[in-house]
């Protein structure tokens, strides 16, 4: 009897050992930890707004400009470049203050329309192996439905779990109809300015804290994490970068060429 009990305990321990990774994988919504500094364009935004702090993602498009979501605005934003574990004082990290915050003038905080913002840094980033830029698409360029792209961020990895380490996940670009026919998204989805991302049949998605990060397709920043359903299920909606390339380039050129810029009032995070 004692021998049978020992065998049963060993079997239960073995089952627990084999099943625990699978159970965790069911909770993960971003896939895996990134290889450190394999995405040198990634930016971590530490945001202060009304005596509370939050964070978003962003990405370096030129040495002195980061692109992110307009709903990531706040009273004060500090940009961290070259980070992998944001809670560690890594030698690769560069901490830069923001000189100007320029949300798109047409941003609507109720519908998340035109959800993008440029951040002009106080000083240009030093480009290194851990800090680099990512190219923007050509104006009007479309990403075909079925394309496999990737997104990374320091956001939640489940409904309750947080992380300080950069994670990444591969996501399918869905047809516009997938979001247009979704009862919770159809009211806000505009195909000309938004992208529908994430297969509803798969438990993979960007989530809270990933806002502002790039959707990368073939090495190009095609989308910006914007919004989705509160239950974290895909698909989720990304700002279509190619629809805003003229505004992005015009704004960066204007700030670089014409001296001081008077910041417009923007939405709060």
Question: Could you confirm whether 176 is annotated as catalytic?
Answer: no
- Asked if 71 and 101 count as a contact pair (C-beta separation under 8 A), the reply is no
Catalytic position from the list 211, 226, 242, 269: 211
Question: Could you confirm whether 269 is annotated as catalytic?
Answer: no
Dihedral sign for Cα 226, 229, 230, 232, please. Answer: negative
Torsion of CA 51, 53, 56, 58, to 10 degrees: 70
Among 122, 49, 45, 38, which residue's Cα sits nearest to residue 81?
45
Catalytic position from the list 37, 55, 84, 115: 115
Given its phi and psi angles, is residue 40 left (phi above 0), alpha (psi -120 to 50 degrees) or beta?
A: alpha
User: How far, CA to CA in Å, does 162 sit from each of 28, 95, 207, 226?
Assistant: 11, 22, 11, 19
Catalytic position from the list 71, 84, 104, 269: 71
Question: Could you confirm whether 115 is annotated as catalytic?
Answer: yes
Given its phi and psi angles, is residue 129 left (phi above 0), alpha (psi -120 to 50 degrees) or beta?
A: alpha
> C-alpha angle 73/209/211, rounded to 5°?
55
Q: What is the DSSP string of 148-162?
A: EEEEEESS-SSSS--
Q: Give catalytic residues, as residue numbers.
A: 71, 115, 211
């Amino acid at each position: 009897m004692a021998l049978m009990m020992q065998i049963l305990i060993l079997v239960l321990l073995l089952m627990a050992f084999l099943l625990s990774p699978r159970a965790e994988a069911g909770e993960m919504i971003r896939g895996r930890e990134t290889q450190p500094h394999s995405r040198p364009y990634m930016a971590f935004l530490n945001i202060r707004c009304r005596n509370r702090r939050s964070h978003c993602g962003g990405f370096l498009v030129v040495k002195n400009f980061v692109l992110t979501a307009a709903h990531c605005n706040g009273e004060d934003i500090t940009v961290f470049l070259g980070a992998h574990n944001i809670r560690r004082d890594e030698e690769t990290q560069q901490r830069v203050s923001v000189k100007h915050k320029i949300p798109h003038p047409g941003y609507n905080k109720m519908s998340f329309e035109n959800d993008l913002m440029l951040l002009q840094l106080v000083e240009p980033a030093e480009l290194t192996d851990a800090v680099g830029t990512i190219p923007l698409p050509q104006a009007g360029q479309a990403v075909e439905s079925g394309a496999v792209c990737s997104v990374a961020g320091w956001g939640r990895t489940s409904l309750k779990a947080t992380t300080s380490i950069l994670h990444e996940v591969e996501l399918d670009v869905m047809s516009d109809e997938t979001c247009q026919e979704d009862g919770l998204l159809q009211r806000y989805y505009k195909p000309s300015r938004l992208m529908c991302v994430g297969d509803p049949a798969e438990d993979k998605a960007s989530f809270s804290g990933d806002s502002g990060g790039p959707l990368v397709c073939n090495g190009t920043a095609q989308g910006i994490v914007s919004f989705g359903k509160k239950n974290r299920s895909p698909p989720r909606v990304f700002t279509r970068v190619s629809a805003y390339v003229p505004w992005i380039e015009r704004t960066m050129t204007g700030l670089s060429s014409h001296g001081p810029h008077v910041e417009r009032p923007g939405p709060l995070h």
